[in-house]
């Protein structure tokens, strides 16, 4: 995970130095320019001697934002909100944002808790500092697994669906049907026994989780798909067939049989085709 660490003040830098080993090699560290200079690995913003440096913290954040998967600020939460507000797009594209106060008492998962990994990062930071992680997502409060991360530990691929609609039904405690045709059932062990999530169709489900190699038929209720990778596809082609043609044909074939492209585990062919460029490109993709 490529991270950016922002610690404007000397006090914040001292706290941040204990976190740098945790964050690994792919971390860029930013602080306000110091007349005495900044020790490695710190980079300065607002340095009048360096015209190439960002002129302010806001410029440093904006410059770094599209290049990283996470941002860690040792700064007041309100200041961080004002810094990132112009940069936010959606939770699928925004980096995770974690905020730590200068006293090192709180590690707040501010944005991208599930998909971005901010909740996990906040826990790591809190454990290192002896701080309290602050996680405010609905699933965290209810003690249920995040819907949009449900299949990640098992290598499942996320498919299409109304993710917000199903997640809202889960957090409201409404009956959600689960249809599962393949893949491990271990995910159920993390689910509270008293939650109205059912394996077979209840009389009046308000949403549905579909786990399998097939696409769900239209139901009229919010549905999401998780696809365990269980399909092996035998492929043959003429010499020189492009990846685009192969992929388009494969997608149409699977769609005709109601199968999900995301459920493909691998491709199989003859040894004669082991160096076919289009086939190799498709397999890599």
Would residue 142 count as lying in a domain? no
156 Cβ contact partners less than 8 Å away, ≥ 6 residues apart: 150, 183, 211, 226, 227, 228, 229
The model's pTM: 0.65
Percent of the chain with pLDDT over 70: 93
Is 220 in the same domain as 173?
Answer: yes
CATH of the domain at 151: 3.40.1390
How far apart, in whole angstroms, are the C-alpha atoms of residue 129 and residue 178?
40
Q: Which of 136, 171, 186 is the last residue of a domain?
A: 136
Would residue 141 count as lying in a domain? no
Is 131 in the same domain as 22?
Answer: yes
Smallest CA-to-CA distance from 229 within 281, 203, 264 is with 264
Is 61 in the same domain as 16?
Answer: yes
How far apart, in whole angstroms, are the C-alpha atoms of residue 151 and residue 275?
33
Is 222 in the same domain as 241?
Answer: no
User: 17-34: per-residue pLDDT in tens?
Assistant: 989 888 877 889 999 988
User: 209-245: per-residue pLDDT in tens?
Assistant: 999 999 998 888 999 999 999 999 999 999 999 999 9
Report CA 56 to chain centroid distance, whole Å: 29
Our count of domains for the chain comes to 3
Q: Which of 136, 166, 193 is the last residue of a domain?
A: 136
Is 87 in the same domain as 174?
Answer: no
Structure tokens, 98: 């974690």
Is 117 in the same domain as 13?
Answer: yes
User: 147-197: per-residue pLDDT in tens?
Assistant: 888 898 899 999 999 988 988 888 887 888 889 999 998 888 777 666 666
Is 131 in the same domain as 13?
Answer: yes
Structure tokens, 19: 């976190």
Structural domain including 221 reads: 147-227
Is 127 in the same domain as 239?
Answer: no
Strands 176-180 and 197-198: parallel
The pair phi, psi for residue 29, each rounded to 5°, is: -110, 125
Is 179 in the same domain as 95?
Answer: no
């Amino acid at each position: 995970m490529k991270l950016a660490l922002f610690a404007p003040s000397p006090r914040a830098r001292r706290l941040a130095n204990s976190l740098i080993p945790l964050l690994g090699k792919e971390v860029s560290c930013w602080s306000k320019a110091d007349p005495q200079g900044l020790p490695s690995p710190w980079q300065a913003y607002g340095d009048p001697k360096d015209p190439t440096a960002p002129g302010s913290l806001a410029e440093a954040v904006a410059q770094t934002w599209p290049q990283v998967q996470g941002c860690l600020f040792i700064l007041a939460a309100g200041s961080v909100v004002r810094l990132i507000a112009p940069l936010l797009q959606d939770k699928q594209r925004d980096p995770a944002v974690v905020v730590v106060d200068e006293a090192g008492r709180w590690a707040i998962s501010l944005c991208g808790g599930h998909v971005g990994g901010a909740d996990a990062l906040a826990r790591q930071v809190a454990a290192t500092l002896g701080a309290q992680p602050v996680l405010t997502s609905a699933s965290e409060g209810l003690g249920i697994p995040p819907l949009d991360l449900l299949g990640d530990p098992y290598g499942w691929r996320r498919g299409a669906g109304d993710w917000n609609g199903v997640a809202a039904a889960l957090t409201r405690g409404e009956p959600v049907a689960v249809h599962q045709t393949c893949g491990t059932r271990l995910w159920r062990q993390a689910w509270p026994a008293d939650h109205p999530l059912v394996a077979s169709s209840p009389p009046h489900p308000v949403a549905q989780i579909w786990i399998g190699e097939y696409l769900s038929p239209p139901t009229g209720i919010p549905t999401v798909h998780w696809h365990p990778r269980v399909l092996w596809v035998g492929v043959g082609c003429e010499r020189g067939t492009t990846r685009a043609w192969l992929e388009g044909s494969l997608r149409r074939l699977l769609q005709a049989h109601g199968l999900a492209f995301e459920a493909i585990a691998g491709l199989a062919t003859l040894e004669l085709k082991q160096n076919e460029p289009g086939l190799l490109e498709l397999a890599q993709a």
